[in-house]
Structure 1
Amino acid sequence: MNLLDKGQYLGTTFGDFISNDLSIIGSVHQKSESQFHQHKNAYLSILLQGIYIETSKANSIRVFPSEIIYRPAFYVHKNTFESANVKCLNIEFSDEWFRKLDMKPLSNMVSFNKINNFPFLFQLITDFVHYNHIDIAEDLLLDLTTKLISKPSICKRIPWIEQLIAIIDNETECVHSLKSLSERIHQHPNYMARAFKLKTGMSIGQYQIEQKLSKATKELLLTSSNIVTIGINNGFFDEAHFIKTFRSKYGITPHQFRRLVKS
């Protein structure tokens, strides 16, 4: 039986990010039926386009766009791709990923879910594809790991949390990576991110965005600075990134917000 190693997928691959801990790889499949196979690592597969049938030794199920399958390591299955250009986004987790997080991945079951149950996946895909911002992607994947495919255990006492919040609150002009933040508070980046999420209910990346938007909103109201300047001053990559993020949160653009309030 075919055993696929880390980063190996059937079909044609597109766009990839591979580190020691995880891999994000796209795959495109033409109309066909694969042989039974298994993967060395556990991974999530998000169906972006097309339809396929997932067949295991126990049953078969048809998978539709926006649906997510979690496949544990060494899960035996085959796929029947019912149309051309079936496109998947695969997020693969190594043993090291789970070990660093002190988590045990599900090992004896396959789970199915929908992408709309995990809104941060939309942000992950957008940030990865358009901005290639890997730190944010990893941060969001910690959310996914915690919510979907593992059972976390963590010490309740996290005395450094206020220090971390103060850094983010006072430095909205910066785009902090997990590594840079962890070095300042002397914690492992993965542990830091998990603890922050469990304590605050949001990821470090999401909290950074919240604080950037909060400060930018005040500047829209209290200053006459242009939109580009306000966005750059608060750590957005460019005007388009600021406008997109603001509209996603509030439903209107910064220009519309300022005009609405000042009118």
Structure 2
Amino acid sequence: MTLQLKEGEYFGKNTLAQEDDAFKFSLQRYEPGFSISEHYHENDYISILTRGTYLEKTKTEQSGIEAGNIIFRPKEYNHSNAFTENGGTCFNIEFKKDWAKTLDFKFRLPAGFKNYKTGLFAPFYTLVHQFVNHQVVPENNTELIYEWLFQINQDIPIAGRQPWIAKVKTILEEELAVFHSLSSLSERIFVHPVYLSGTFKKKTGMTVSEYQLEMKLKNAMHLLLNTQSSITEIGFGNGFFDDAHFIHAFKNKYGVSPYQFRQALKS
């Protein structure tokens, strides 16, 4: 008998979970030698093996899954799994039933099972890293998934010139006191958020989130060196919701805290 797993249901032990309007995110841990009988999920989902190896079987074939592989399984895809003696951990991104309605844009998911080899889609590894380290920002989740959707739908036409890119850059460079979401930007420039995300990355080499953070940290550096404003004032003025958020972002970029940076360059 083939088991049906409803939205959000997975075998193994759940260690972390989160969701938004379109997606469910979860981290599942499997004991050594854990076997899963034939089953299917009612929704499409992506599964990234972060640790271990397992064998995946269908009625017609079987394949070995290694750490780092990105697996796409369409809804109602029958399969079974058997983990090796080391067990494993999987990060799952499940597409909710009406996920496409939240985009108001026609994107195709792969028609069948896909096994993308390690390193092929960088956005997912960024998402995994943020998720397991409790650094997830919901808007960033969406943008990273948009980036993947854009990559696998390369027949979406991109015009030679996109004057709206300059407008987005101006907003991100000048309106530093808030973090701008893809949705709010798309409403201001009248471009769909998925198209905005994919085209901005393709034309500038950076995601909207990366560019936005770059501008905030650049301005913060200027203020650290040229004003007497406190660390808290500088962080808040650049849209960071608290000192810890600002210090983490600054240190991640420059290797030192804002205070250490200011002291080192002013000494």
The TM-score bracket by the shorter chain reads 0.7 to 0.9
Q: Which runs of 5+ in 2 are unaligned?
A: none
Residue correspondence of structure 1 range 24-35 to structure 2 within 5 A: 24-31=25-32, 32-35=34-37
Tell me the SS of whatever aligns to 2:139: helix
Give, in whole Å, the separation in 2 of the partners of 1:259 and 1:152.
51
Tell me the SS of whatever aligns to 1:192: helix
1:210-232 alpha-carbon deviations (Å, 9 max, x no partner): 11111111112212222222222
For residue 91 of structure 2, what is the aligned residue in structure 1? 89
The Cα of 1:63 is off from its aligned counterpart by 2.4
For residue 4 of structure 1, what is the aligned residue in structure 2? 5
Is the CA contact 1:105–1:151 (under 8 Å) kept in the aligned structure 2?
no
The 1:119/1:104 distance shift into structure 2, 3 A limit, reads closer
Tell me the SS of whatever aligns to 1:207: helix
1:123-171 alpha-carbon deviations (Å, 9 max, x no partner): 5642686355211211122123334x44351331433222222111111
Is the CA contact 1:34–1:78 (under 8 Å) kept in the aligned structure 2?
yes
For residue 227 of structure 2, what is the aligned residue in structure 1? 223
Q: When the two structures are aligned, how many residues end up with a matched partner?
A: 260
Give, in whole Å, the separation in 2 of the partners of 1:120 and 1:84.
23
One-letter identity of the residue aligned with 2:61: A
Q: Tell me if 1:142 matches 2:143.
A: no
Is the CA contact 2:182–2:193 (under 8 Å) kept in the aligned structure 1?
yes
Give, in whole Å, the separation in 1 of the partners of 2:5 and 2:28.
14
TM-score relative to the length of structure 1: 0.82
TM-score relative to the length of structure 2: 0.81
Q: Which runs of 5+ in 1 are unaligned?
A: none
Give, in whole Å, the separation in 1 of the partners of 2:220 and 2:142.
25
One-letter identity of the residue aligned with 1:87: T
Tell me the SS of whatever aligns to 1:34: strand
Q: Tell me if 1:60 matches 2:60.
A: no
Tell me the SS of whatever aligns to 1:35: strand
Is the CA contact 2:73–2:112 (under 8 Å) kept in the aligned structure 1?
no
Give, in whole Å, the separation in 2 of the partners of 1:7 and 1:150.
26
For residue 260 of structure 1, what is the aligned residue in structure 2? 264
For residue 250 of structure 2, what is the aligned residue in structure 1? 246
Question: Aligned-residue CA RMSD in angstroms?
Answer: 3.0
Tell me the SS of whatever aligns to 1:145: helix
Tell me the SS of whatever aligns to 2:134: helix
Is the CA contact 2:44–2:75 (under 8 Å) kept in the aligned structure 1?
yes
Is the CA contact 1:103–1:151 (under 8 Å) kept in the aligned structure 2?
no
Residue correspondence of structure 1 range 1-263 to structure 2 within 5 A: 1-13=2-14, 14-19=16-21, 21-31=22-32, 32-56=34-58, 57-64=60-67, 66-82=68-84, 86-93=88-95, 96-97=99-100, 100-114=104-118, 118=122, 121-122=125-126, 125-126=129-130, 130=134, 132-147=136-151, 149-156=152-159, 157-263=161-267
Greater than 4 Å deviation, 4+ residue runs = 98-101
One-letter identity of the residue aligned with 2:35: E
Tell me the SS of whatever aligns to 2:229: coil
Structure 1 residues 136-145 or 207-216, which shifts more? 136-145
Give, in whole Å, the separation in 2 of the partners of 1:67 and 1:171.
39
